[in-house]
Structure 1
Amino acid sequence: MQNNASGILSKSSNVTVIGSGFAGMAASAILALHGQQVTVLEKNMETGGRARTFSEGGFTFDMGPSWYWMPDVYDSFYDLFGKTTADFYELKQLDPGFAVIFGENEVMDIPADFDGICTLFEAIESGSAQRLRKFIAEGEFKYLVGMQDMVYKPGHSATEFFSFKLFRDALRLQLFTSFSKHVRRYFKDPRLLALIEFPVLFLGAMPKDTPALYSLMNFSGLKQGTFYPMGGFGKVATAFRTIAENAGVNFVTSQNVDKLEIEAGHITRVYSAGRATRVDAVVGSADYQHIESSLLEPAYRSYPDSYWQSRTFAPSCLIFYLGINKKIAALQHHNLFFDEDFEQHAIEIYKTKKWPAKPLFYVCCPSKTDPSVAPEGSENLFILMPIAIDLDDPEEIREKYYNTLIDRLERFTKASIRDHVVYKKSYSVSDFIVDYNAYKGNAYGLANTLMQTAIFKPKLKSKKVGNLFYAGQLTVPGPGVPPSIISGRIAANEVLKFLKDKS
């Protein structure tokens, strides 16, 4: 028997994974690769979690993720199985990577070439090109240290981070400096500030509440580049399922988990669709709070409801999937509408927690890059507006914001769009709850505040149940597709360690 997670156990164990998002699929594939009998139970008809897709009228829509950053995380996972990204899909770098719209006649197209980005910054604010190079170099250092020394740690305790190298690098990681304060040491122009801070708003928290550590995201977005998997993000989810199935994982869809039976502090059976399955370990990659509150008796929950009430969550969102029977020349593949006040919208998401008065929003038009996702001569639009969690989202409110966003989109593009919509579907808070059991309809998990980073996140290993492990955006390392992949890898390795100790 091997003494580490890189080997195959001499005795096969039965492991159930709840949920088939990226974290669950990554965990299941690694466990099967190491000789375990793995079953993934998915409540929906399709696998992929938030990266599900659907097709209507010749349009293929990615339901969730659309930004492909941190390509090395995907490459590293595929390499575990002797594969490369190119084995599954064509990865195309976007140029421009994205556009930021500050007004009807004020647009920043962010080039793929970093020197071009520096030139763009310099044209807006004198001296900012040199400052951007320094800012991104710091972000690259954080990225490399984070990816090599921090992000793959399970976060059980602070002792994991007790190394000379991490102590030496601690100040440069800027865990105790706010992202907002850090950015303002480099840039003054509000357009540049919005460009640098947008990943935090969409995936994190108020910039002033987020550690400057997360400038590593700017390195990935501006220096590594923005990519697109041809065929859509659903191709990535398909790749993960293919890898898992080739390793021996069994996927069972439309299978809602009803109960986890516990004996002597360990799960012995998983009940789903009226059937009981004996297990040696469970990975919960569905919503952490849902598993605790709905599948475990209070005595076996690691966190009371008051804990979840006290957490800062990343946004939920209101999404519109639109099929348009004409081309829209003014749009790029990714378009960020920052034509209203950034801070006010952030306050409405994180502080006052109400529907925004003048929202920022994002438009993805993948048909600009990929003709397969829309009929010829048509556009596929994904419109997303970040909002607070736990909001009521009746049809009349959705329709009100639909009209607001379309009005602004038509003003910017100087084109008729509303009259050319041939398919329309909305998705928001209540849908996240129904489809993913998402706590208060969260879309992205916990915000990356200091007290919700690394060891301060909900523990990957249950505090009360010896063979229950968690993966996904509510535990380490955090929200987003690459962190979820990493989370699945960490969880799988922790399960393998547990099974070896048990045997």
Structure 2
Amino acid sequence: MSAASSRHIVIVGAGVAGLTAAALLAHHGYRVSLFEKQSVPGGRAAAMTWDGFTFDLGPTLLFMPDVYREAFARWGGDFDREVPMLRLRPNYRLNYADGKNLVISSLLSETMRSLEAFAPGSSDGFLRYFADAADAYQRSRRLFVGERIRSFAHFLSPERIAALFSTGAFRHLGAQALRSFGDPRVAGAFSFQSMYLGMSPFDAPLLYRLLLFTELGEGIFFPLGGIGALPRALDRAARSNGAQIHYDTEIAEVERSGERVVAVRTGGGERIECDAIVLNADLPYAYDRLLGDPEHRSLRMRHTPSALLVYAALEERYDDLLHHEFLMPSDLRRTCTDIFERGRIPEDPAIYLCAPGASDPRMAPPGKEALYLLVPAPSLEGVVDWAGKRDAIVDRALRIVEERRLPGLRSRIRWVRSRTPLEFQNELSLNRGSAFGLSHDVFQIGPMRPDNRHAKLKNCYFAGASTRPATGLPLVTLGAMQSVERICEELG
């Protein structure tokens, strides 16, 4: 019997990072028990089917598939076989209030033609801007997120310091985009992607133009069956490797002795001994509620805002609706100010639409559509009365979509469900209802982001959006691989 096989590791949370860690640790020979309080895998990336309509409940875009290929290959799996997917073309359509639209495609010539039709002359700076985005991506992938940051000294190497300056860590994304394109609408089209990380493009470091490369250089993908196909495949892999997975089982307490975790207790009172623990729960929540450390710095760090998610079952789909579309506000800066500074729902919100039936008709009954809306919104730190005004806020979002893009929308709706920051906090245990975890400003990345191991409890590890390296499905997958590498080094 190997040393690993005699050691029991408990994982709390079946998000993508928790499931990746479970599959890898089980492959390395550890006895793995994963506990998830929800009934399905995925955490924020879970999916549900109601009345034949399948909805991804959180993320709907898949980027950086090479990360998942690497993860699956580590246990001998084949990601492309386990999670068959389509590369979308075009990526999405941006719709503006004046009736004009801009189509963004990973085929750059298509994007440039659309740019010229939308704002003549605006394509002149596009290739340079894209090349700089590609450079930022390659440097960041190699130097900032591709390997575990072990210390400040490790992070602050001459090469990394130079890269921080050259990639624009101390300049603003929105300002550079405006200088590159002139037209504020085009600048917004190539900088709003920072909102994927819960950051305003007007405050986000220029470094995050790398997100544009993930979209245009590598492409946007859709797993057949939705993003939920990814955690389902990870669940299968973890079980196949020998992990035990327990859904509908909440971990209520982490028991420690000295500088080690020795057991966990379920909400039902069962005590499970362990040799190490991986917490895939939201890191500030984990420190506060599970580890009994309400003064941990993560609870004082800057959190991202949140989102209103709307799931609408349509009796009839719209044939001209792309898989991904955005309704762009007339003044993106004012919209971001409302969300990020004033903590309120904007009068002119940005709205993202996802119509997966455009790529996979099986996501809804024949001829129908599982329409998904996302409206960036403040977290529970804001001034929005989510409990009292949820229905009015949802109805207003649907009305805006109906007026600007989908005529007759509300008459096609069979039913509507929604998720607000209240559900992010109460159901997913996300501190402050922040949908994306801790913010990614320049002082909350690298070694300044919470470590993936507890400073005092030497067998307590973390994986997920609020630890290193960052939020987003591919990056939490990278983070899970880094946490597992550390466990194997330190636990043996």
Which secondary structure state, in structure 1, belongs to the residue aligned with residue 6 of structure 2? Answer: coil
Query: Deviations for 1:62-84, whole angstroms, at most 9, x for unmatched residues?
Result: 11110111222122212212333
Distance 2:195 2:409 in 1: 27
* Partner of residue 358 from structure 2, selected from 364, 368, 373: 368
Which secondary structure state, in structure 1, belongs to the residue aligned with residue 318 of structure 2? Answer: coil
Which secondary structure state, in structure 2, belongs to the residue aligned with residue 137 of structure 1? Answer: helix
Q: Which residue of 2 aligns with 1:382?
A: 372
The two structures, once aligned, show a CA RMSD in angstroms of 2.0
Is the 8 Å Cα contact of residues 457 and 475 (structure 1) preserved in structure 2?
yes
Which residues in structure 2 correspond to 1:200-219 (within 5 Å)?
200-219=194-213
Q: Which residue of 2 aligns with 1:279?
A: 274
The amino acid across from 1:181 in the alignment is A
Distance 1:286 1:50 in 2: 11
| Counterpart check, 1:433 vs 2:425 | yes
Which secondary structure state, in structure 2, belongs to the residue aligned with residue 209 of structure 1? Answer: coil
The amino acid across from 2:454 in the alignment is S
Query: Deviations for 1:409-451, whole angstroms, at most 9, x for unmatched residues?
Result: 2223352111221121111111111211110111111222111
Is the 8 Å Cα contact of residues 279 and 461 (structure 2) preserved in structure 1?
yes
The amino acid across from 1:479 in the alignment is T
Q: Which residue of 1 aligns with 2:181?
A: 187
Is the 8 Å Cα contact of residues 198 and 306 (structure 2) preserved in structure 1?
no
Q: Which residue of 2 aligns with 1:292?
A: 287
Is the 8 Å Cα contact of residues 328 and 415 (structure 1) preserved in structure 2?
no
Is the 8 Å Cα contact of residues 298 and 450 (structure 2) preserved in structure 1?
no
Q: Which residue of 2 aligns with 1:316?
A: 306
* Partner of residue 356 from structure 1, selected from 346, 350, 361: 346
Distance 2:59 2:42 in 1: 11
| Counterpart check, 1:460 vs 2:437 | no
| Counterpart check, 1:80 vs 2:110 | no
Q: Which residue of 2 aligns with 1:111?
A: 105
Distance 2:155 2:431 in 1: 30
Distance 2:373 2:344 in 1: 19
Which secondary structure state, in structure 1, belongs to the residue aligned with residue 237 of structure 2? Answer: helix
Is the 8 Å Cα contact of residues 446 and 474 (structure 1) preserved in structure 2?
yes
Superposition TM-score, scaled by structure 2 size: 0.94
Q: Which residue of 2 aligns with 1:411?
A: 403
1:317 Cα deviation after fit: 1.0
- Unpaired stretches in structure 1, ≥5 consecutive residues: 2-7
Range moving further from structure 2, 150-159 or 402-411: 150-159
Query: Deviations for 1:209-257, whole angstroms, at most 9, x for unmatched residues?
Result: 3221111110111221111111111111111111111111110111111
1:38 Cα deviation after fit: 0.8
The amino acid across from 2:134 in the alignment is E
The amino acid across from 2:88 in the alignment is L
Q: Which residue of 1 aligns with 2:12?
A: 18
* Partner of residue 173 from structure 1, selected from 157, 167, 177: 167
The structure-2 alpha-carbon separation of the partners of 1:119 and 1:315, relative to structure 1 and needing over 3 Å to count, comes to: same
Which secondary structure state, in structure 2, belongs to the residue aligned with residue 332 of structure 1? Answer: coil
Which secondary structure state, in structure 1, belongs to the residue aligned with residue 48 of structure 2? Answer: strand
The amino acid across from 1:102 in the alignment is Y
| Counterpart check, 1:304 vs 2:295 | yes
Is the 8 Å Cα contact of residues 106 and 215 (structure 2) preserved in structure 1?
no
* Partner of residue 220 from structure 1, selected from 200, 214, 221: 214
Q: Which residue of 1 aligns with 2:470?
A: 478
The amino acid across from 1:364 in the alignment is C
Q: How many pairs align?
A: 489
Query: Deviations for 1:104-150, whole angstroms, at most 9, x for unmatched residues?
Result: 62111223311211232344445543422122222212222222232
Distance 2:197 2:212 in 1: 13
The structure-2 alpha-carbon separation of the partners of 1:254 and 1:197, relative to structure 1 and needing over 3 Å to count, comes to: same
* Partner of residue 251 from structure 1, selected from 245, 253, 277: 245
Is the 8 Å Cα contact of residues 204 and 449 (structure 1) preserved in structure 2?
no
* Partner of residue 335 from structure 2, selected from 342, 345, 350: 345
Is the 8 Å Cα contact of residues 202 and 314 (structure 1) preserved in structure 2?
no
| Counterpart check, 1:96 vs 2:90 | yes
| Counterpart check, 1:449 vs 2:444 | no
Is the 8 Å Cα contact of residues 102 and 115 (structure 2) preserved in structure 1?
no
The structure-2 alpha-carbon separation of the partners of 1:415 and 1:354, relative to structure 1 and needing over 3 Å to count, comes to: closer
Distance 2:405 2:338 in 1: 27
| Counterpart check, 1:489 vs 2:481 | yes
Distance 1:326 1:11 in 2: 53
Superposition TM-score, scaled by structure 1 size: 0.92
Is the 8 Å Cα contact of residues 202 and 333 (structure 2) preserved in structure 1?
no
Is the 8 Å Cα contact of residues 31 and 492 (structure 1) preserved in structure 2?
yes
Q: Which residue of 1 aligns with 2:323?
A: 333
Which secondary structure state, in structure 2, belongs to the residue aligned with residue 66 of structure 1? Answer: coil
The amino acid across from 1:224 in the alignment is E
Which secondary structure state, in structure 2, belongs to the residue aligned with residue 112 of structure 1? Answer: coil
- Unpaired stretches in structure 2, ≥5 consecutive residues: none
Which secondary structure state, in structure 1, belongs to the residue aligned with residue 202 of structure 2? Answer: helix
The structure-2 alpha-carbon separation of the partners of 1:270 and 1:386, relative to structure 1 and needing over 3 Å to count, comes to: same
Range moving further from structure 2, 346-355 or 473-482: 346-355
1:15 Cα deviation after fit: 0.6
Q: Which residue of 2 aligns with 1:5?
A: none
1:167 Cα deviation after fit: 4.8
| Counterpart check, 1:268 vs 2:268 | no
The structure-2 alpha-carbon separation of the partners of 1:54 and 1:11, relative to structure 1 and needing over 3 Å to count, comes to: closer
The amino acid across from 1:282 in the alignment is I
Distance 2:451 2:158 in 1: 25
Query: Deviations for 1:16-69, whole angstroms, at most 9, x for unmatched residues?
Result: 111010111111111111111111110111121111111112111111110111
